[in-house]
Structures are given as C-alpha cells and as structure tokens.
Amino acid sequence: MKFGNKIAFKCKLLAKLILLISGFWPCLQQYIKFPYIKCIMSVSKKAAIERLRKFKISRFEFDVLRATLDIPRGKTRTYKQIAEAIGKPKAFRAVGTALKNNPLPIVIPCHRVVRSDGDIGSYSGSSGRGKKIKAAILRREGAI
C-alpha cells in the first residue's frame, strides 16, 4: 500500500468514526467512500475551495458552493439569498440544482440553505429521507 493510500484509508476511518459518534453514520455512510473527507468537521474554507477546484463543475456551481461556504454554523440562508449573493437574483432554482450536485456534502454546508417559505427543503444524496437528514443536521448545529 502506497503512503498516500494509507493516509486516505486512515482519513476514511476517521470520517466514519466521527459520523458514527455523531449519530449520522446510517444516513451519510454513502459519502465516506471519498478519501477527501478527511477531518470532516475541521476542513478550512481555503482547503474546501482548493478541493472544489479539482471537480469539473461550472463557474456558476463554483460560485454557489463558494457562497454556501460563508454560511456560519447555526445559521441558514435561503436559495434566493444565495442567488442574490452571487449576483444572479432570479437563479434561485438553479442554486438548488447546484447544491443538489454538491461534490463535498457536509464540508460545503448545502444543508444550511433552506426555502424562502420557511420549509427546510430537501437534501441531496438520499432517497426519501433527505428532509429528515437535513432537519437532524440543522438541529445538531442549532439552526432550527
């Protein structure tokens, strides 16, 4: 096993342990297959942006995900507020699509973006349980 693979394997185990302890493992285990989720709870904005640049995403998607990184823990923003923040005030539905395709869930906190009507909206990566998962994460962060 190469040195890089050993690190990725250890990061994978660390991420599983963090999610298991926090109670999210059953909901989020699908994300653990990616080695870039090392130290999942302490990735800096700069590190997240650098990792984000490695994915083939459009400039719009990058801008949406970058704006989402600015949402502090325990706070939420609406899809419309994110659209306005990136200079595209009518693109709130496209913001939702960009967040649905977030390549770094949890690290880029797409779960902190909610609907304008007060509903929390859905959460990508899970079939049918997305709303419950999103609500659990937001409750844990103190946002709802």
Catalytic residues: 110
User: What are the tokens at 77?
Assistant: 């923003």
The residues with which 108 forms a beta bridge, in sequence order, are 105
121 backbone φψ class: left, alpha, beta (φ>0; ψ -120 to 50): left
DSSP state of 78: E
* Three-state DSSP state, 34: coil
